[in-house]
Structure 1
Amino acid sequence: MTDWLAVDWGTSHLRVWGMSKGGTVEARKTSDAGMGRLARDGFEPALLDLAGDMLGAGNTPIIVCGMAGSRQGWAEAKYVAIPCAPPGIDRATRVSTNDPRLSVHILPGVKQTNPADVMRGEETQIAGFLALNPKFDGVICLPGTHSKWVHISAGEIVSFRTFMTGEMFGWLSSQSILRHSVAAQGWDADAFAQAVADTLSRPAEMAAKLFSLRAEGLLNDLDQHVARARLSGLVIGAELAAARPYWLGQHVALIGEDAVCKPYADALSAQGLPVERTNTERMTLEGLKAAFKTNRRETP
C-alpha cells in the first residue's frame, strides 16, 4: 500500500509510481496500455489492472500527466495559456470513477495562441526540472517524435515551438524512397556533424540533399550507416536552423533519453553552447511530486 500514485500516461505507455507522502518511490509498474489503445471507459480498468494492489481501503490521491488528459483520453484537461508556470493540481481536471478508492486528478497541458502550439506531458517534465533547478533561466529542449524548444524565465513558460523532426526522420527512413538507402541501425559521427553544419548554413537545400542520399546510394554505393547519420543530421540541422532564436547564446537543458538527446547535444556543442542533459522519467516523476506537494499545501 502507498499514500498516493504518480501516473505518466502517454500514447503508447502507462507508468505508475506508488509514492509515500515524503516523496519516496515505494513501487513502480509499467504497461503498454497507452492512451492510443484505450476507449474512454478503458482507462479506469487499465489503471486498476496495473496498480490496484497499490491501493488501500481508503481514498488514494492519483495525479496523472500526459495523454490521458487529451480529447481522446480519460477526460479532457483543458490547456493553460502561456505565459504560465507549469500547471499544478490547482488547475487539474477531477475525474469521476466507479471505484471509490480512486481520487484522480489529470494535469492540464499548455497552449500558445500565436504561433499556434500545444504541449501535453512535457509541461510536467519542465515542472520537474524547475523543481530541481528553481533559478534556471534559459531554454529547455525536449527532443523526440515532436521536439519542443521552450523559453523559461522567472519560473514560467514564456514561449515554445514544436518540430516534427522525430516523426519526419521515422517516416523518411522507413516509409519513403530513402528506406532503400538508410540502415535501420548504425551511425557515423562525422557524417552527422557535416550534415548538421551544411543544413544550418543552407537550410533551403535540405529537400535536395535528402534525395541525394538516394542518388549517392545508387551511383556511389553510399554506406547505409553513413546515410542514416546524414539523414539525422539533415533533419536536426533544419530544426536547429529554425530554432536558432531559442538557443543562440542561451543555456540549453535537454530532457530526454540518452539515445535521443546525444545527437542534439553533439550538434549544439559544435555551436559552442553549454548543454545540460537530464532524464525524461526522473523529470516526469519530479514534476508529479511537485504537483502533489501543491495539493498538500492547498488541502486543509
Structure 2
Amino acid sequence: MAETTPDWIAADWGTSHLRLWLMSDTGRVLDRRSSDQGMGRLTRDGYAPVLNAALADVLPASGRLPVICCGMAGSRQGWAEAPYAAVPCAPPGAPQATRITCDHFDVHILPGIKQTAPADVMRGEETQIAGLLAATPGFDGIACLPGTHTKWAHLSAGEVVSFRTFMTGEMFALLSDQSVLRHSVQGPGWDDAAFDEAVSDAISTPANVAARLFGLRAAALLEGLSADTARARLSGLLIGMELAASRPYWLGQPVRIVGEDGIGAAYLRALQAQGAEVATTPAQDITLKGLTAAYAQLKDTTA
C-alpha cells in the first residue's frame, strides 16, 4: 500500500513489463509497483484498465492523476502513438507528449527519437538519456544503453546528436536458446578470463566471429569446454563485435553506461579493457530522473 495518495505517477511501459512509481510533488517516491502487462500483451483498449487495477487503492476521489509515461505505450502498436522527434534534438519532454484523458488519469506519453541516415529509432531510451543529462548537467560524451537492442548515443549541448542500435542482446538470446550452440552454453556460471579473451579477439578480427561462434560447439564436443566458459565466450564475441563497429562512438570519449549489473557490468568490463573513460549509472534511477524532469516541464506549462 502507498503511504498516501500520490501527486503524480511515473510510468515506464515497455514491451514485456509495466513499472510504476507513485510520486509526491516534491519528487519523493511513495511506492513502486510492477506488472507483466506490457505492450506485447495488450490491445489499445486494455491500457486504462491495467492502470486502474495497478493503482486501485490510490485513485483520487475527484479529478485525475497526472501520469508521465515513456516506452512502448507510445508505439504504433501501443496505447497511442507518440510521433518520433528527429535528431539532433533534446530528449523529448512533456511539451511534445501525446495526451490521453481517461477515467482517473491525465496521461502524457513521451515520444521516442528517430534518425534518418542511417535509419534508426529509440523509444524509452530517450527518457533515460534525459535522466542522465539531469543527473550530470553539461555532460558531453556517449551514452551506452545496453539491452536487447543496445543503443549508443552521442550527446552534446543537451541534445542527442546521433545514435546507433545494435541487436547484440537479441542475437545472444537467439544463439544461446535456439541455435546449435544451445547445447553448449546452458549454464548458470561465468568465466571472466574467457569473456575478456573473446572480446579482444572479436575487436581485433570481427570478420572471424561467425567461425569462432561455431568453434564453441566444436570445443565443447572435442575438448570438453564447460558451459560457463562457452557462455562467457559467446557474450564476449558478440559484445566485442559490437565494440569494433561502435568504436567511433566510444574511442576517446567519456562513456556513461546506463545499467550497473548483469549486461551493464559486462559492457563496463569490456570497455575498461580497451582503456575507455567509462562509468555506470543505475538504469531504473536514471529512468525515474527522466520522467521526473518531464513532470517538472508539465508543471511549468500548467502553472
Deviation readout 1:254-285 (Å, 9 max, x if unpaired): 00251111111111001111211111110111
Partner residue, 1:24: 28
The alignment status of 1:183 with 2:182, answered yes or no, reads no
Deviation readout 1:83-109 (Å, 9 max, x if unpaired): 000000000001142x1x211110000
Partner residue, 2:226: 223
Where does structure 1 differ by over 4 angstroms across 4 or more consecutive aligned residues?
Answer: none
- The answer for unaligned runs of 5 or more in structure 1 is none
Instruction: Tell me if structure 2 keeps the 8 A contact 1:63–1:292.
Output: yes
State the distance in 1 between where 2:219 and 2:44 align.
49
Moved more, 68-77 or 251-260: 251-260
The alignment status of 1:75 with 2:80, answered yes or no, reads yes
State the distance in 2 between where 1:5 and 1:96 align.
14
Partner residue, 1:66: 71
State the distance in 1 between where 2:132 and 2:285 align.
9
TM-score between both structures, scaled by the size of structure 2: 0.97
Identity of aligned residues (%): 61
Correspondence for 1:2 among 2, 6, 14: 6
Aligned length: 298
Alignment of 1:39-58 (within 5 A): 39-56=43-60, 57-58=62-63
Instruction: Tell me if structure 1 keeps the 8 A contact 2:6–2:24.
Output: yes
Q: SS at 2:55's partner residue?
A: helix
Instruction: Tell me if structure 2 keeps the 8 A contact 1:16–1:51.
Output: no
TM-score between both structures, scaled by the size of structure 1: 0.98
State the distance in 2 between where 1:183 and 1:262 align.
20
Deviation readout 1:49-93 (Å, 9 max, x if unpaired): 001322212221111100100111100111000000000000000
Q: SS at 2:63's partner residue?
A: coil
The alignment status of 1:94 with 2:99, answered yes or no, reads yes
- AA aligned to 1:58 is G
RMSD (Å), alpha carbons: 0.9
State the distance in 2 between where 1:62 and 1:208 align.
49
Partner residue, 1:104: 107
Alignment of 1:1-300 (within 5 A): 1-56=5-60, 57-97=62-102, 99=103, 101-300=104-303
